[in-house]
């Protein structure tokens, strides 16, 4: 594999160098051999045209990328603030797209248009205050608009109220897994600290303080945690060892997990897992993934190994902050469901008092 790969890479490179060198040589045919190593008129002509071609290349890369990679992007947001997020993202992208298209065009077109000709004199233009004012003020206005929009969105997301009926969930990170803790019937999380982790022969997996009466009805879960749809969730985020980052891309949510402090994030899920699985973009993505997995499985079977499991969509909690060797595999499944199903599921879990008995 390596050998084949390296051979292919080296060959491709060699061919491209050879071809490009040849183009340059051919373009110089008939001219006196110029070994000054300074661009001649011919060089300017060719390189100027290539600059123009490069503009076309940038546009093609852009079009190709958007045409074929849009489908891999995240599906529509599954949280309330996510809609605002997506709108702001779209507007920012429009600004970027317009500026990128125009500036790259000017840059490369000028590189082509004004490619050097012997004996022509460039225009002597040192500055133009009016023009410079224009291109200072316009970006300033656009940026101020974006800043205002961004700041309002940011403070809407981050300055959440601790409502009575919000669900309190603790996300607990360690090398290399996640746990979640529910506050139980009193909706108040019991105190916790890493000092309590070794209590109860290690059964106190997130270090709950058993002497705090609020702690006894707390529920700790692993592997997956559930959220009721359309109810605000406030996450209290902790880590026991190093920095981690609780990243829930489908909800446009991320917050670092910092040992020694509790960080917070809040969102309201709007789409159940079941509904999201029916979203056309998700359906298409899952089909695509399963086709890839099927093809890979065929190879595995041919090698006499186990085939891959078919994939089904689920919301994910990932770690986005480098945290050691298994950083790449720190995952927890998130299930969003109706309030009724959620309560049913939560009641099946063991409370802290049951765990430590």
Q: CB within 8 A of 248, min separation 6: which ones?
A: 254, 315, 316, 317, 318, 334
Both tokens assigned to 335 = 């299930």
| Smallest gap from residue 202 Cβ to another protein (A) | 8
Task: For another protein, give the closer residue by CB, 10 or 278.
Answer: 10
SS3 228: strand
CA distance 303 to 290: 20
SS3 127: coil
- The kind and range of the H/E element at 293 are helix 280-302
Both tokens assigned to 72 = 């891999």
What's the DSSP call for residue 195? G
Strands laid side by side in the 167-174 sheet:
219-222, 177-182, 167-174, 233-239, 263-267
Task: For another protein, give the closer residue by CB, 45 or 186.
Answer: 45
| Smallest gap from residue 120 Cβ to another protein (A) | 5
- The kind and range of the H/E element at 167 are strand 167-174
| Smallest gap from residue 132 Cβ to another protein (A) | 5
| Smallest gap from residue 183 Cβ to another protein (A) | 20
Q: CB–CB of 338/228 below 8 Å?
A: yes
Task: For another protein, give the closer residue by CB, 326 or 338.
Answer: 326
| Smallest gap from residue 170 Cβ to another protein (A) | 15
| Smallest gap from residue 240 Cβ to another protein (A) | 5
Task: For another protein, give the closer residue by CB, 148 or 185.
Answer: 148
Place of tokens 């940026």: 143
Task: For another protein, give the closer residue by CB, 180 or 346.
Answer: 180
Q: CB within 8 A of 220, min separation 6: which ones?
A: 172, 179, 180, 181, 205, 206, 208, 352, 355
| Smallest gap from residue 153 Cβ to another protein (A) | 4
Task: For another protein, give the closer residue by CB, 87 or 350.
Answer: 87
Integer-rounded Cα Rg, in Å, for the chain is: 29
Task: For another protein, give the closer residue by CB, 247 or 345.
Answer: 247
**Is the peptide bond prior to 24 cis by the omega test (within 30 degrees of 0)?**
no
Both tokens assigned to 216 = 């006894």
Task: For another protein, give the closer residue by CB, 329 or 338.
Answer: 329
| Smallest gap from residue 228 Cβ to another protein (A) | 22
Task: For another protein, give the closer residue by CB, 9 or 278.
Answer: 9
| Smallest gap from residue 347 Cβ to another protein (A) | 30
CA distance 296 to 288: 12
Burial of 250 (0-12, 13-18, 19+ CB in 10 A): buried
């Amino acid at each position: 594999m390596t050998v084949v790969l390296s051979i292919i890479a080296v060959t491709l490179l060699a061919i491209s160098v050879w071809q490009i060198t040849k183009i340059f040589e051919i373009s110089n045919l008939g001219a006196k051999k110029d070994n000054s190593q300074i661009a001649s008129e011919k060089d300017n002509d060719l390189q100027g045209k290539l600059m123009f071609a490069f503009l076309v290349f940038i546009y093609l890369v852009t079009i190709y990328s958007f045409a074929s990679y849009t489908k891999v992007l995240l599906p529509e947001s599954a949280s309330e603030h996510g809609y605002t997020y997506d709108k702001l993202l779209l507007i920012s992208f429009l600004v970027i797209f317009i500026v990128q298209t125009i500036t790259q065009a000017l840059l490369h077109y000028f590189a082509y248009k004004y490619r050097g000709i012997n004996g022509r004199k460039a225009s002597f233009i040192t500055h133009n205050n009016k023009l410079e004012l224009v291109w200072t003020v316009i970006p300033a206005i656009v940026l101020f608009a974006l800043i205002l929009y961004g700041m309002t969105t940011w403070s809407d997301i981050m300055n959440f109220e601790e409502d009575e009926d919000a669900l309190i969930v603790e996300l607990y990170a360690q090398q290399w897994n996640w746990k979640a803790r529910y506050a139980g019937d009193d909706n108040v999380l019991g105190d916790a600290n890493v000092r309590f982790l070794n209590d109860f022969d290690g059964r106190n997996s997130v270090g709950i303080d058993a002497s705090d009466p609020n702690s006894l009805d707390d529920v700790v879960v692993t592997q997956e945690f559930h959220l009721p749809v359309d109810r605000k969730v406030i996450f209290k985020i902790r880590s026991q060892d190093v920095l981690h980052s609780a990243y829930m891309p489908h909800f446009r949510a991320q917050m670092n997990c910092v040992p020694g402090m509790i960080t917070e994030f809040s969102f309201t899920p709007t789409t159940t897992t079941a509904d999201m699985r029916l979203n056309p973009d998700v359906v298409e993505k899952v089909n695509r993934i399963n086709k890839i997995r099927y093809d890979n499985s065929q190879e595995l079977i041919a090698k006499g190994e186990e085939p891959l499991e078919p994939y089904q969509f689920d919301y994910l909690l990932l770690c986005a902050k480098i945290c050691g060797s298994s950083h790449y595999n720190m995952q927890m499944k998130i299930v969003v469901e109706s309030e009724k199903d959620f309560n049913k599921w939560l009641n099946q879990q063991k409370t802290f008092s049951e765990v430590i008995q």
